[in-house]
Homo-oligomer: A and B are copies of this chain.
Amino acid sequence: MPRKAKQGMPRAATLHDVAAKVGVSAITVSRALNSPDLVSKNLREQILAIVDELGYVPNRSARTLVSSRSYTVAVLIPSLSNTVFIDTLAGISEVLDPRGYQILIGNTAYDDEKEERLLRTHLSHKPDGVLLTGIRQRPQTLAHLAKLGIPAVHMMELDPTDACLCVGFSQEAAGRQITEHLLARGYRRIAFFGARLDPRVMQRLDGYRKALQAAGCHAAELEYLNPRPSKIGLGVEMLDTLRREHPDCDAVFCCNDDLALGVLTGCQRTGIAVPAQLAVAGFNDLEGAAWATPALTSVRTPRYRVGFEAATLLLQLMEGEATPALRQLDLGFELQLRGSS
């Protein structure tokens, strides 16, 4: 006997309700909605009319349970307040939305353990695929995904060991090239401002070091690393410290534009001429960079495309059987040279 429905408890229309009203079986309604070709035109139209009338919305849980396809993709990003990842998300949505995938966003807050926990939580939704930021995940975590047959694509970095599928660009090369640009302009006492200190910032730092070492200009005391989140205010602060400790410094490469805009603000407030007294370079080329005074030299990163291509690749893995030939998709970057350097 069917379980007694609680009185007054509202219930959403089901396939059976629609089917009963049309006078067919539930599976026919299911087919009318999911494989329209299998149902005669006449009947299909009747069904769609009733679906509309009853406001029927399919129950994803039931579908997921029986079909072992959830049409859900888990996306783990370190922050929602960083435009970089929002742009990435936009690229992901662009690909997955029209294909009917639901995106489950996980905000790891730059915390490896939280990422681990989030991934586990998200697994309870049986995602068909996973998009991860960076390649720092524990091997056993990735192995677990592999064992479950859930494909994963890593974004924003490339993997030198080629162990995981990556879509991104070389953070190190970007850091190196922007530093080489400063060297080419004649600056020799070039500082590095790093905040947050996530793996990508550290890779940019690596690039910075290599460029300076190659030019014989590296000076460890000009590396300013601060674990706090990157903010304009922090850039102002760090500039202050730099000027006090190393007034001879002639250029700063900031690990991102927020910090760099703070440096520009600080220069403007304390009357430091940019770039005459101090050149400034940022990273990511956010909207504000081009409008700053002077306009900020930065590295334009292809984050929208990273999301787009990563989602496209994941889609292939989720739907096709072909394993991609190219495991490291390098989308490059572009120096944006402007007035600040």
Residues of A within 8 A of B (CB): 9-10, 12, 55, 57-62, 64-65, 70, 80-81, 83, 86-87, 89-90, 93, 102-105, 107, 120-121, 123-126, 144, 147-149, 231-233, 236, 261-262, 265, 268-269, 287-288, 291, 293
Q: How far is the CA of A208 from the CA of B60 in the complex (A)?
A: 46
Q: How far is the CA of A217 from the CA of B87 in the complex (A)?
A: 42
Given the complex, which residues of B lie within 8 Å of A87, measured CB to CB? 81
The smallest beta-carbon distance between A134 and chain B, in angstroms, is 20
Given that A9-B149, A10-B147, A61-B126 are contacting pairs, would A105 and B105 also be in contact in the complex, using a CB cutoff of 8 Å? yes
Given that A80-B80, A104-B102, A147-B10 are contacting pairs, would A291 and B233 also be in contact in the complex, using a CB cutoff of 8 Å? yes
Query: A90 touches which one: B80, B86, B102 (CB < 8 A)?
Result: B80
Query: A10 touches which one: B55, B59, B89, B148 (CB < 8 A)?
Result: B148
Q: How far is the CA of A86 from the CA of B86 in the complex (A)?
A: 10
Given the complex, which residues of B lie within 8 Å of A80, measured CB to CB? 80, 86, 89-90
Given the complex, which residues of B lie within 8 Å of A59, measured CB to CB? 65, 124, 126
The 9 closest A-B pairs by CB, nearest first: A61-B61, A10-B149, A61-B64, A60-B124, A61-B65, A57-B123, A232-B291, A265-B291, A80-B86
Given the complex, which residues of B lie within 8 Å of A147, measured CB to CB? 10
Most buried by B among A12, A93, A107, A144: A12
12 further A-B contacts with Cβ under 8 Å, apart from A61-B62, A61-B70, A232-B291, are A9-B149, A12-B123, A57-B120, A59-B124, A60-B61, A60-B124, A60-B125, A61-B64, A61-B126, A81-B90, A265-B291, A265-B293
Task: Provide the main secondary structure of the chain A interface.
Answer: helix
Q: Does A269 contact B293, Cβ atoms closer than 8 Å?
A: yes
The smallest beta-carbon distance between A6 and chain B, in angstroms, is 10
Given that A120-B57, A293-B269 are contacting pairs, would A232 and B262 also be in contact in the complex, using a CB cutoff of 8 Å? no
What would be 27 A-B contacts, judged by CB atoms less than 8 Å apart?
Answer: A10-B149, A12-B123, A12-B126, A57-B120, A57-B123, A57-B124, A59-B126, A60-B125, A61-B62, A61-B126, A62-B65, A65-B65, A80-B80, A80-B89, A81-B86, A86-B86, A102-B121, A102-B125, A103-B105, A104-B104, A105-B105, A231-B287, A233-B291, A261-B288, A265-B293, A268-B293, A269-B293
Given the complex, which residues of B lie within 8 Å of A81, measured CB to CB? 83, 86-87, 90
